[in-house]
Structure 1
């Protein structure tokens, strides 16, 4: 006891810096003494091992730094965190053919000749930053756009944003439709973004284009005068009702109304698609755009099929959020996380987010057992690190159907479900991005819409090719 008192007195006499150094050294020695790197992970009451996620790609760094870093085996289950729930080195290439839904001839034709246009309608309370976050657009691009014209931040409910991205994921063009006549346009050039305000000074007039299927729908529609963007609009609008890539047949007839802008009798725009009447044998397909920009059938019913936000029967804690700008905690480099991770125990039922077709059901060194489902032509969902697959390629699934059991396969160091939502082959934030809903035209406006739709249908039927 006298020795301890004497030691304590001696330490108290040391300068403060020396005392701190001495205590730090003692703590490191004690930790190294307790450190058991080969000890098994602790188990929960259910017998499952607790996971400690180490970022992939950091393993070599950690092994080289063991003489500097200290790790203590936990004595109780450790919660997954934003930094370690998903291995940070396992960045899944969004263009990896193993994960992509295969493209048919129509999709390949559209991809070759037109930039994919992404659209978003401003919701209450949304800011420009919120829109960029939902769709995984570079924050750096947003600040560059603001620097060019600060008015880009002034978004109003109902305004439509449309943009395209380049091969590097940068915003290539962005347009904000401020009103029926005015739009703000930003274009990426070699010198940076350029701003231009667009104004429609002409008169909008309907123009009807007609055609007959002689080869593919795409080629026949082009021959009738439709541009790739208009074809894409029709393909997307009817993705759940009529598949132009698989169901269009030689001899089918169609008529399309587009609204073009005219100045002094001359068309100055290609125009937006307003309505389509398509006749395939005895099958009739009619759609018309409403004031909200969405297409409906003749009775005002939605053409969409809804998607659920959560691919699970109940809410599980989100252990790692969607974050395309996520930084690797060791390297400091961007290590994107294109999905949402749910801390699910092994064996948790995984549900299809919507009606669709299974296009991938396989195993990958990083993703483990995984499933990819194509929902129409606009949306795709991915489910990774699964324990067991309950579906196979070609299966048609419905919303809420069990497709797999969650697991811990592939490059994963803890049980969880990695879930991705892709819109037009680009990852978006499944927890925040607006999802399609199968709602009809609102009751107060449905009567007028139905009457206008019936009149439009008769006009198109009258000019259909014989």
Structure 2
């Protein structure tokens, strides 16, 4: 009894908020003690419903590209644009968006469209115009042009030296036409002198924008016309044109070029395989690595420009290849080139951009550390960064992009430039033709 009175006295001395709190706690404890759960009898449920979910409906988060869906860096982001010089701007502004591909063994039409990120809807419309389009053969040359919306404007299949198939976009799909070589091919020599920019000087000499683009790309690994061309340089070009009844038709294909840059003489000639070589038959191309790492890593998300968001169903392109690399994995330059960007981006994280000649650019995203700076020249296989998990990323990885002629392509499938010479069995014939062509161009410059 004394203990109860003592406790009551102590409680009476406590502030009112403390007394209220103790009262509430005591009530809750008493209620929990007195409460007894109602008894029940377990019953076995024999009714079972099976729901079938198709395998195609599953999409593992671990297999998504490492940027959260909907957060892919847009190409129109000014901070993510690739710098270009005056010549690059002129080529982009005036030349059509021409692309070429030589069919290799095992390739299909759909696979080629996938490599270059071309709309499959365009391919199906062309097949409606002429189903024979899908019957492509090894060694056949494909050419296409794109409009401002990256749709296929025209598509050409060089079936043989005699027959060519043409597909042209119309208001109702595509039109189809097969042409037969009926005229005579004649070489036309054009010459000029650089008085301002090479581009404008070549236009003045009679070359059209597409031919200038052919020349610039043929020499992109040997000579930079935008940076190295100088006032007073001289050049001569052979263009092969088709004549019917004495009248030139078609734009003509560049066959050879002789360029004099001070005491530096540059000569290239096109072989029957469509590639350019020097007078000794050496390739002008420099190979690019297929993979930007020393060892192979699992591809966690492949190139897919038509990927759909699994929830919204909207197109959310994945314009690169994601490799599941641990943080700190050395990242290697895919080829010789110049670093044009090495900076931070809110979505891409730390990223590096390397320009390889005039045609190719590579991008490396979400890096842990950058090992190069803008303006630095790098060589194939050189360490340029360490992979990481920076920016808006769901896990450690390397996002790698290959860009060809300002368009992302599938780096794992698209043909890469190979530094292979003219085959041994053809080198004698090629050398004879190339030396004679060089002699004629020298005469053209001296006349």
TM interval, shorter chain, is 0.7 to 0.9
CA distance in 2, matches of 1:279, 1:108: 24
1:264-283 Cα shifts (integer Å, max 9, x gaps): 11111221000011111111
CA distance in 2, matches of 1:198, 1:180: 11
**Is the 2:144–2:155 Cα contact (8 Å) retained in structure 1?**
yes
Structure 1 residue ranges, 4+ long, deviating more than 6 angstroms after superposition: none
Deviation at 1:297, TM superposition (A): 0.3
Greater C-alpha radius of gyration: 2
1:8 aligns to 2:43 (yes or no): yes
Select between 157-166 and 395-404 the one with higher mean Cα deviation. Answer: 157-166
Paired with 2:351 and 2:148, the residues of 1 have a C-alpha distance of: 26
Do the aligned residues in 2 keep the contact of 1:86 with 1:320 (CA within 8 Å)?
no
Q: Secondary structure at the match of 1:271?
A: strand
Query: Do structure 1's residue 291 and structure 2's residue 326 form an aligned pair?
Result: no
Query: Closer, same or farther in 2 for the Cα pair 1:4/1:401, shift >3 Å?
Result: farther
Q: Give secondary structure in 2 for the equivalent of 1:330.
A: coil
Matches within 5 A, 1:254-403: 254-403=235-384
Distance 2:265 2:65 in 1: 53
- SS where residue 157 of structure 1 aligns? coil
CA contact (8 A) 2:95 2:213 kept: no
List per-residue Cα deviations over 1:153-212 (Å, max 9, x = no partner).
010000011112222221111111111121111111222211122222100010100111
Alpha-carbon separation, structure 2, partners of 1:348 and 1:336: 26
Residues paired across the two proteins, number: 403
Distance 1:322 1:137 in 2: 12
Q: Deviation string for 1:39-89 (max 9, x for gaps)? A: xxxxxxxxxxxxxxxx9xxxxxxxxxxxxxxxxxxxxxxx96333543221
Pair 1:272–1:430, CA change in 2 (3 A): same
- For residues 127-146 of structure 1, what are the structure 2 equivalents within 5 Å? 127-146=108-127
Look up the match of 2:80.
99
The equivalent residue for 2:71 is 90
Please, which of 119, 125, 128 is the counterpart of residue 147 of structure 1? 128
**What is the CA distance between 1:311 and its match in structure 2?**
0.1
What's the CA shift for 1:4? 11
Answer yes or no: is 1:226 the counterpart of 2:261. Answer: no
CA distance in 2, matches of 1:8, 1:155: 67
Alignment partners' CA distance in 2, 1:244 and 1:219: 12
Distance of 1:96 and 1:162 partners within structure 2? 30
1:270 counterpart SS class: strand
SS at match of 2:344: strand
Find out whether 1:251 has 2:286 as its counterpart.
Answer: no
Residue segments in structure 2 that go unaligned for 5+ positions in a row: 1-37, 52-58
Q: Say whether 1:202 aligns with 2:237.
A: no
User: What is the deviation of 1:16?
Assistant: 4.9
CA distance in 2: counterparts of 1:84 and 1:111, whole angstroms: 31
The whole-number CA distance in structure 2 between the counterparts of 1:431 and 1:88 is 22
Closer, same or farther in 2 for the Cα pair 1:4/1:118, shift >3 Å?
farther
State whether residues 333 and 380 of structure 2, in contact with CA within 8 Å, keep that contact through their aligned partners in structure 1. yes
Aligned mate of 1:455, from 414, 436, 442: 436
Residues of 1 paired with 2:429 and 2:76: CA distance? Answer: 45
- How far did residue 95 of structure 1 move? 3.6
Q: CA deviation at 1:214?
A: 1.0
CA distance in 2, matches of 1:300, 1:280: 21
TM-score normalised by L of structure 2: 0.87
1:161 aligns with 2:142: yes
TM-superposed deviation, 1:250: 1.0
- Kindly state the Cα deviation for residue 8 of structure 1 after the two structures are TM-superposed: 3.0
- Please give the alpha-carbon distance, in whole angstroms, between the structure 2 residues aligned to 1:248 and 1:374: 19
